A = this chain, B = another copy of it.
Amino acid sequence: MAGVTDETPGLSPEELGAYFAVMEVSSLLQYAVDAHLRAEGDLSYVQFQILARLVDAPDGRLRMTDLADGVVYSRSGLTYQAGLLDKRGLITRSSSPDDERVIVVTVTDSGRGLVARVLPGHVADVRRLLFDPMATGDLAALSEVLGRVRAHMRATPPRSAKPRAKRRGAG
């Protein structure tokens, strides 16, 4: 892409390289991690993220909306995934006493067990691919840079952020 046009705006060669590096590293990392999760636990990365969030939540419970917010996907997409996890006995769903509209998702022991089973390999993958090649100070540097970027991203809705049934002001 370096020579696309003579007036390619904006990105210096270094920036372009950094951008490509981010995308390639994350792509390969996700590919490897996803493959491992599927092989070890028959879980997609999304499913693993859902379970991991639940395992980390107080009492292992979260509302559907909380999960949807975290995993970015649409509500119907989450319903689909939750249906699969439910069918496998990895989670349960029950309506909340406080608000009958709300569905509370809870990880089952089986779900916890599965997470515990795939986690070591998952972590090992991440370590091998992401952290092993790093030099001293790299971790701190990466954390700081990406921390800043992430904070900025979170504060800046993508543009056409469609909070589905939300968004009232702010056109």
Residue A88 lies at the interface, judged by CB distance under 8 Å to chain B: no
Residue A32 lies at the interface, judged by CB distance under 8 Å to chain B: yes
What's the nearest-Cβ distance from chain B to residue A97, in Å?
A: 26
Specify which of B25, B31, B128, B151 is in contact with A22 (CB 8 Å cutoff). Answer: B25
Nearest-CB residue, chain B, relative to A19 = B126
Specify which of B22, B115, B152 is in contact with A132 (CB 8 Å cutoff). Answer: B152
Specify which of B2, B26, B27, B143 is in contact with A18 (CB 8 Å cutoff). Answer: B143
Interface size on A, residues (CB 8 A): 68
Specify which of B3, B5, B23, B132 is in contact with A30 (CB 8 Å cutoff). Answer: B23
Query: Is A127 a contact partner of B26 (Cβ separation < 8 A)?
Result: no
What's the nearest-Cβ distance from chain B to residue A167, in Å?
A: 14
> Which residues of the other chain, B, contact A119 by a CB distance below 8 angstroms?
1, 4-5, 8
Given A124-B10, A153-B129, decide whether A26 and B26 contact each other with a Cβ distance below 8 A: yes
Q: Mark A78-117, 1 if CB is under 8 A from B, else 0.
A: 0000000000000000000000000000000000000110
Query: Is A22 a contact partner of B29 (Cβ separation < 8 A)?
Result: yes
> Which residues of the other chain, B, contact A4 by a CB distance below 8 angstroms?
52, 55-56, 115-116, 119
